[in-house]
């Protein structure tokens, strides 16, 4: 090192006579002494015994360092040399006497030391916990410090990267020798860090002596260097006796800073939900240890520490990621568990499934949401997966086993909902048995929930056993227009509902039925396809949701004369509500007309606008005090009239509502359901009620009489419940006496039995 230092010094423009003058100058001589100390402090060297030649060499180096730092090296009159930095030259001058030289040299030494200090002085690790600046605490593994040897015969011609690797190798060999020989490194008492508070075990023996801390530091540096070599040096083999140790990090819980914050409740969560979610997500382990924590596995040293989060990870990446996840839990001002919500789509067809995929990609830009993968029926259907750059699966069970998913969107044909739900849950169970992180939390199932009530009851039973929440895709409930209409109709000023009139009229193109594609054959099959199951279920669901009343009886007549298929293409439905009101719904998908929800609201941009048809109403709600048109939201009433009736003028009121895509609002809601922040707007239990109404319509078309949906609910398990033991007040949705008299006791028993299928579903908005 001396040889290289002299060589570097010889490159400076410094005449011999001027160097002699610099040595004799008092300022340079004293400055040179401080330069020697600074040189040793920076390089980590220690002075034990120096020969005369070595002393002279380092004296010259010290003079050169100090004078260069002052910007006056190589100049007779104090002017800096060309190419030498001058940023500090204006702040220093050459001393003219001995006293000034001593004072000036001391100031230079202090400021030079401060220039190498990259932050405040080191404090004890037991001081108040502070949030480190970004880029400091979570640095890369390559940024970890290592201590180069004091004396290294450095080969010539090496690049900066090669020099760094050479120094690491030399340091690794030196540490390996010292650890094998149980030799501790000497620490200069003038530069060693302050000692932490003493920690004693139960026997009174000190656990954190200087020797113990030095040995831990050597071992930690030894392990870091080996991991660096394994990662960056091709073909490197670690020592035979080296065993990779788990990486650990301790994050102090800032109880003193936030005394009112319930850290234990937030970290552990109800029944350990948050703690389990952290471990499942990161694949590592997390513990809470410290004073007043009854953990039998913690050491005596940990028991004496303040309460902290102990993190163990297999790699540096996992440990740092784990710490970043844990830190928001320990800082009340940071949102909890700000992690991506991974959602998969099963059945990414050309209509609804594709729309869900595009919405998830759209949300991934602004929100913390990720489209994890797509599951299709055919392996050759790869266009959408390639476009969105996500994995493609053809088996839902294998998808759930391989991928860490928070939620799954099932947009496949209705008759496949039960099988796909079962496959997703079985795949999640296999993933859990394999010890892999990620637990399925919620399902978004397109309407109708199933093609029959028996399958729906089985689906809810499966999801309830697995603890998975079900949200059914009646997306119109999320519309702001629908929410405003519900607020008006259920208000006391609207009065008791007298009746409802709805219309669904449009023309489906021939390509929709696609007779040449066997995969779309279900759209023409009775009991699976048709406008009643696919389209009018939305209108009948809104009839329940907006009015807040249940449908007790339905009567329907249909026709299939337009296309001659098994399924209907036109029809009329009459319903009776639980309080005696009547409603009607006319539907057809075989006439060129714009009188449907999609055309009139303009929420779905798939449907082109119709000239002169802006906000033309397709629903009408008539009440005792006022009436409402939808989606225009025009309110008609005789407010202020002396006598209400046709002789008085009607008052029209129309609130303004901003229109937004209900599918987007539904997907946002589903993400919050996956995170446990909200309950489903349309739960599985509520969707079964709407399915029962639709199935009652289909049965009415077959038998030619009025059918009560409650009768179908009772048939799900007619022998399971004794009707005489039930009380009507226990029904999930309260009924008025008129409706109760219309329903048989057996029908009420069936409704109650279905209500007990799952506890994870929530009461309908009427009971809420």
User: Which of 522, 516, 575, 513 is CA-nearest to residue 549?
Assistant: 575
Q: What is the predicted pLDDT for the residue at 186?
A: 73
Per mean pLDDT, which of 202-206, 429-433, 498-502, 610-614 is the most reliable? 498-502
Mean of pLDDT values over 90-99: 39
- Pick the more confident residue, 765 or 702: 702
Q: Is the pLDDT of residue 52 over 50?
A: no
Mean of pLDDT values over 48-75: 51
Q: What is the predicted pLDDT for the residue at 316?
A: 59
* pTM for this entry: 0.54
Distance CA 581, CA 544 (A): 12
Pair 602, 469 in one domain:
no
Pair 442, 502 in one domain:
no
Q: Is the pLDDT of residue 218 over 90?
A: no
Distance CA 423, CA 629 (A): 44
Mean of pLDDT values over 39-53: 46
User: Which of 540, 603, 597, 596 is CA-nearest to residue 573?
Assistant: 540
Provide the pLDDT confidence category of residue 504 given band limits of 50, 70 and 90: very high
Q: Is the pLDDT of residue 339 over 70?
A: no
Cα angle 536, 537, 538 (rounded to 5 degrees) comes to 85
Pair 461, 484 in one domain:
no
User: Which of 399, 417, 419, 408 is CA-nearest to residue 468?
Assistant: 408
Distance CA 373, CA 390 (A): 5
Pair 419, 484 in one domain:
no
Residue 353 belongs to domain spanning: 341-475
Among the residue ranges 500-504, 610-614, 688-692, 757-761, the one predicted with the least confidence is 757-761
Domain assignment present for residue 667? The answer is no
Q: What is the predicted pLDDT for the residue at 365?
A: 67
Distance CA 63, CA 38 (A): 11
Among the residue ranges 583-587, 669-673, 744-748, the one predicted with the least confidence is 744-748
Edge-first strand order for the sheet with 247-252 is 247-252, 308-313, 285-289
Domain assignment present for residue 404? The answer is yes
Distance CA 599, CA 577 (A): 27
Pair 487, 586 in one domain:
yes
Q: Is the pLDDT of residue 573 over 90?
A: yes
Q: Domain containing 539 — which CATH number?
A: 3.30.360.10
Pair 292, 314 in one domain:
yes
Residue at which a domain ends, from 207, 232, 257:
232
Pair 522, 436 in one domain:
no
Pair 488, 630 in one domain:
yes
Contacts of 436 (CB under 8 A, 6+ apart): 283, 404
Q: What is the predicted pLDDT for the residue at 257?
A: 75
Distance CA 408, CA 396 (A): 10
Pair 207, 167 in one domain:
yes
CA distances from 61 to 12, 89, 140, 168 (A): 11, 19, 35, 26
Distance CA 181, CA 173 (A): 12
Mean of pLDDT values over 524-530: 79
Q: Domain containing 313 — which CATH number?
A: 3.30.1370.10
Residue at which a domain ends, from 179, 199, 232:
232
- Pick the more confident residue, 752 or 201: 201
* CA 565 to mean position of chain CA atoms: 47
Mean of pLDDT values over 580-599: 93
Provide the pLDDT confidence category of residue 525 given band limits of 50, 70 and 90: confident
Pair 489, 594 in one domain:
yes
Provide the pLDDT confidence category of residue 276 given band limits of 50, 70 and 90: confident
Provide the 10 A C-beta neighbour count for residue 626. 21
Pair 263, 179 in one domain:
no
Domain assignment present for residue 166? The answer is yes
Q: State whether residue 689 is helix, strand or coil.
A: helix
Per mean pLDDT, which of 66-75, 112-121, 624-633, 711-720 is the most reliable? 624-633
Give me the number of domains the chain comprises.
Answer: 4
Per cent of the chain over pLDDT 70 is 67
- Pick the more confident residue, 617 or 323: 617
- Pick the more confident residue, 65 or 147: 147
Domain assignment present for residue 362? The answer is yes
Domain assignment present for residue 20? The answer is no
């Amino acid at each position: 090192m001396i040889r290289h230092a002299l060589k570097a010094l010889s490159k400076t423009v410094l005449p011999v006579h001027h160097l002699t003058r610099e040595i004799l100058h008092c300022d340079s001589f004293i400055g040179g002494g401080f330069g020697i100390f600074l040189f040793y402090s920076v390089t980590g060297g220690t002075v034990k015994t120096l020969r005369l030649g070595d002393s002279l060499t380092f004296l010259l180096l010290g003079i050169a360092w100090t004078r260069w730092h002052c910007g006056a090296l190589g100049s007779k009159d104090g002017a800096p040399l060309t190419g030498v930095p001058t940023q500090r030259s204006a702040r220093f001058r050459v001393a003219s006497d001995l006293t000034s030289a001593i004072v000036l040299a001391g100031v230079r030494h202090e400021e030079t030391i401060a220039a190498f200090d990259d932050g405040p002085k080191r404090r004890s690790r037991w001081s108040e916990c502070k949030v480190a600046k970004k880029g400091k605490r979570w640095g890369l593994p390559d940024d970890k410090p290592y201590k180069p040897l004091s004396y290294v015969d450095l080969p010539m011609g090496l690049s900066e990267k090669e020099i760094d690797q050479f120094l690491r190798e030399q340091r690794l060999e030196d540490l390996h020798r010292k650890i094998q020989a149980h030799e501790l490194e000497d620490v200069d008492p003038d530069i060693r860090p302050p000692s932490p508070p003493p920690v004693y075990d139960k026997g009174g023996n000190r656990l954190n002596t200087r020797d113990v801390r030095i040995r831990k530091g050597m071992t930690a540096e030894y392990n870091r260097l080996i991991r660096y070599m394994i990662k960056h040096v091709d073909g490197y083999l670690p020592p035979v006796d080296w065993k990779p140790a788990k990486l650990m990090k301790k994050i102090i819980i800032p109880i003193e800073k936030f005394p009112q914050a319930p850290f234990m409740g937030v970290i552990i969560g109800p029944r350990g939900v948050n703690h389990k979610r952290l471990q499942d997500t990161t694949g590592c382990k997390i513990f809470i240890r410290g004073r007043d924590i009854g953990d039998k596995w913690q050491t005596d040293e940990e028991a004496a520490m303040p309460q902290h989060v102990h993190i163990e990870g297999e790699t540096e990446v996992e440990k740092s990621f784990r710490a970043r996840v844990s830190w928001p839990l320990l800082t009340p001002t940071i949102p909890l568990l700000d992690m991506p919500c991974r959602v998969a789509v099963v059945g990414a067809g050309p209509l609804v499934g594709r729309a869900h995929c595009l919405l998830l990609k759209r949300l991934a830009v602004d929100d913390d949401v990720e489209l994890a993968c797509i599951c299709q029926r055919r392996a050759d259907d790869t266009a959408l997966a390639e476009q969105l750059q996500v994995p493609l699966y053809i088996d839902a069970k294998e998808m759930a086993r391989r991928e860490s998913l928070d939620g799954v969107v099932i947009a496949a044909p209705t008759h496949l909902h039960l099988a796909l739900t079962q496959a997703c849950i079985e795949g999640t169970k296999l993933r859990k048995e394999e010890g892999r992180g990620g637990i399925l939390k919620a399902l978004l199932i397109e309407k109708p929930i199933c093609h029959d009530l028996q399958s729906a009851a089985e689906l809810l039973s499966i999801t309830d056993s697995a603890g998975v929440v079900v949200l059914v895709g009646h997306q119109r409930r999320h519309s702001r227009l629908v929410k405003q209409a519900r607020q008006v109709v259920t208000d006391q000023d609207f009065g008791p509902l007298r009746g409802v009139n709805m219309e669904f009229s449009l023309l489906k193109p021939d390509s929709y039925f696609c007779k040449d594609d066997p995969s779309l054959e279900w759209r023409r099959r009775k009991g699976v396809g048709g406008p009643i199951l696919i389209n009018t279920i939305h209108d009948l669901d809104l009839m329940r949701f907006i009015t807040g009343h249940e449908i007790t009886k339905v009567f329907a007549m249909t026709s299939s004369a337009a296309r001659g298929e098994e399924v209907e293409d036109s029809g009329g439905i009459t319903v009776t509500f639980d309080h005696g009101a009547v409603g009607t719904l006319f539907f057809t998908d075989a006439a060129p007309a714009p009188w449907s929800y999609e055309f009139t609201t303009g929420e779905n941009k798939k449907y082109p606008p119709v000239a002169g048809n802006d906000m033309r109403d397709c629903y009408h709600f008539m009440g005792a005090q006022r009436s409402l048109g939808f989606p225009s939201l025009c309110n008609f009433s005789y407010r202020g009239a002396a006598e209400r009736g046709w002789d008085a003028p009607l008052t029209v009121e129309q609130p303004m509502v901003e229109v937004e895509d209900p599918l987007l609002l539904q997907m946002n809601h589903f993400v919050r359901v996956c995170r446990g922040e909200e309950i489903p707007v349309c739960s599985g239990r509520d969707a079964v009620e709407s399915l029962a109404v639709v199935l009652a319509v289909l049965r009415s078309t077959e038998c030619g009489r009025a059918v009560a949906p409650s009768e179908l609910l009772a048939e799900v398990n007619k022998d399971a419940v004794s009707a005489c033991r039930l009380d009507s007040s226990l029904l999930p949705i309260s009924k008025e006496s008129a409706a109760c008299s219309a329903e048989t006791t057996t029908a009420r028993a069936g409704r109650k039995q279905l209500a007990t299928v799952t506890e994870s579903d929530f009461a309908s908005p009427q009971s809420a």
